[in-house]
Amino acid sequence: MKTAITEMCGIEHPIIQGGMHFVGFAELAAAVSNAGGLGTITGLTQRSAADLANEIARCKDMTDKPFAVNLTFLPTLNPPDYPAYVKAIIEGGVTVVETAGRNPAEVLPYLKDAGIKVIHKCTSVRHALKAQSIGCDAVSVDGFECGGHPGEDDIPNMILLPRAADELEIPFVSSGGQADGRSLVASLAMGAEGMNMGTRFIATVEAPVHQNVKDAIVAASELDTSLVMRPLRNTERVLNNAAVTRLLEKEKALGDKIKFEDIVDEVAGVYPRIMLEGEMDIGVWSCGMVAGLINDIPTCEELINRIMSEADTIINDRLARFQAA
C-alpha cells in the first residue's frame, strides 16, 4: 500500500509502532521495520543520550530499514538532556522522530535541518493544528480509546479522525484502538494515511516485555482498562489490576485536594517492574481498550502481513461487494 505516510517514512506498509516506555527497545523496533512497518525506539527509556546512541546502533545492526525514535516532552523538575538526545538521534542517522507531550518547537529546527521527518502525537484537533503550524511533517491523532495518555477531551477516533481530516493539511495516522485490517481500512476511510499501534505490538513475540504482560493483554477484554490520574489532569489509561483499584480508591478519597505526591508511590517506578519482571499486581501500566481485540501473540511479521491481507480483503471483497450490488 502506498500512502503519504509510507512515502514520507520510506516504508512498505502504513503501520507505525508507537513509542512505548520500557517496550520500545531495538528488538521490537527492528522487528517492526523488518516486517515493512515503522518501528520506534523510545528515547527516554534509555537513561542517557549515550545509551540511546547505543540502542540506535543496536537497531541498525538488526535492520537496514528505516525506524523512528520517540522523544517525549513532559513537565518535570529534572528534565533529561534533550539536546544530547537529539544529537544522538541525528548522528545515529535516524530518519523519523515521533514527538509527544509538550509541543516540540524547541528541538524541531535541529531535526528539520538534519532532514528528519517529525510526527507529533496529538489528542485534539487544536494540538494537531499547532503541530502543523510549527512545521511538523505529520501528526499521530490519538483517540480516547488509546492506552497511555488520551488527554482530557475524551474524543474517540470515530470523531477525531474525520475532524482532523477536515482541518489539517499535513498527513496524519490514527492512534488508539488500532488492532487489525478493519482498524486500518476504517482509519484510511476517515482520512488517515496510516495507523499507529501500541498495545497491539506489546502482544508480539518480539516485544521485550515479560510473558505475563503479553498474556494479560490477550486475556483482557475492552472493559478491562481504567483512567487513572484524571483528577490531576494527567489522565492515563491502564489495564485494571489490584493496584489500579487501590489507586482509584485513593484518588476518590482525596477528591479535589489530590496532589501527585499523594499517589506517587502507587504510580511511579512500577512500569519497569511490570514490563520487565512481570509483577502484574504491583502497579499500573498503559494499555488501550484495544486489548479486547487482541487474542494472540504473533511475530511482528505475521501481524503486519495479516493486517495487510485483511485490509485487502475488506477493500476488494467486502466493500466492493456492497457497492457493486
Interface residues with a copy of itself (CB under 8 A) are: 1-3, 14, 125, 143-145, 153, 155-163, 165-166, 176-180, 182-183, 185-191, 222-223, 289-290, 292-293, 311-312, 314-316, 318-320, 322-323, 325
Q: How far is the CB of 145 from a copy of itself (least distance, A)?
A: 5
Q: How far is the CB of 300 from a copy of itself (least distance, A)?
A: 20
- CA geometry: angle at 266 spanning 239 and 123, to 5°? 50
By the 10 Å C-beta count (0-12 exposed, 13-18 middle, 19+ buried), 121 is classed as: buried
Give the residue among 63, 37, 31, 68 at the shortest CA–CA distance from 52. Answer: 68
Q: Between 78 and 323, whose beta carbon lies closer to a copy of itself?
A: 323
Q: Between 99 and 174, whose beta carbon lies closer to a copy of itself?
A: 174
Q: Between 158 and 242, whose beta carbon lies closer to a copy of itself?
A: 158
Could you give the CA distance from residue 159 to residue 119 in angstroms, rounded to a whole number? Answer: 21
Q: Between 4 and 84, whose beta carbon lies closer to a copy of itself?
A: 4
Q: How far is the CB of 157 from a copy of itself (least distance, A)?
A: 5
Q: How far is the CB of 123 from a copy of itself (least distance, A)?
A: 12
C-alpha cell at 133: 503550524
Q: How far is the CB of 315 from a copy of itself (least distance, A)?
A: 5
Strand arrangement, sheet containing 172-175: 15-17, 195-197, 172-175, 138-142, 117-122, 96-101, 67-73, 39-42
Q: Between 256 and 261, whose beta carbon lies closer to a copy of itself?
A: 256
Q: How far is the CB of 125 from a copy of itself (least distance, A)?
A: 8
Q: Quote the DSSP letter at residue 229.
A: S
Could you give the CA distance from residue 242 to residue 226 in angstroms, rounded to a whole number? Answer: 12
Which backbone phi and psi does 75 adopt, to 5 degrees?
A: -70, 125
Q: Between 26 and 192, whose beta carbon lies closer to a copy of itself?
A: 192
SS3 122: strand
Beta bridge partners of 120: 99, 139
Q: How far is the CB of 134 from a copy of itself (least distance, A)?
A: 22
Contact 284, 228 (CB under 8 A): yes
Q: Between 100 and 185, whose beta carbon lies closer to a copy of itself?
A: 185
